[in-house]
Amino acid sequence: MDQVLGQVLRNAVWERLDMLSDLANRADAQSLVSVARSELPRLTEGWRAMLQAHEPDERGDCPTCSTRWHKCKAPCSVWQVAHEHLVAGGLAPQQTAATQDHRRENRRRVPGQTRGVSPAETTGRHALVNPRRAAIGGVHV
């Protein structure tokens, strides 16, 4: 059950990011200004909260990425990605539309799902399974 709820949460976040990307690429100037005023403060606060959780401790380890048996030295991958996308900016490699579509499909699947799919799970904004990949006669297509 936790896996399904986690997938619903992840799908909602991915869909929100997809929507914002689509707006940035397709909206008119007035809409972009409106979206920027409402979404940029939320996005920056989200980045700040996530980076705060990954601030190195007194030993220089990331407390979030480290485990009891494996310590992750700062900067952890979260800080590296933040720098790549927020500071390096244009230096970050650009994804093609095909790569983005492929990643969208992969992240919407529930890992290890082998059971049949109910109609409720294949419909709606936050469907757990893409309708094109829904089970037909117990076989995934």
100: containing domain: 95-141
Interval 115-134 mean pLDDT: 41
- 75 prior amide bond cis, ω within 30: yes
Judge whether 33 lies within some domain.
no
pLDDT band at 101 (very low <50, low <70, confident <90, very high): low
Distances (CA, A) of 123 to 17, 91, 129, 131: 20, 39, 8, 7
> What domain count does the chain have?
2
Judge whether 44 lies within some domain.
no
- In sequence order, the 6+-apart residues with CB closer than 8 A to the CB of 98 are none
The 10s digit of each residue's pLDDT in 8-55 is 999 999 999 999 999 999 999 999 999 999 999 999 999 999 999 999
Judge whether 20 lies within some domain.
no
pLDDT at 118 over 50: no
Comparing C-alpha atoms, which of 115, 121, 119, 122 is closest to residue 140? 115
Whether residue 100 is found in the same domain as residue 89: no
Whether residue 116 is found in the same domain as residue 88: no
CA distance 9 to 126: 9
Judge whether 74 lies within some domain.
yes
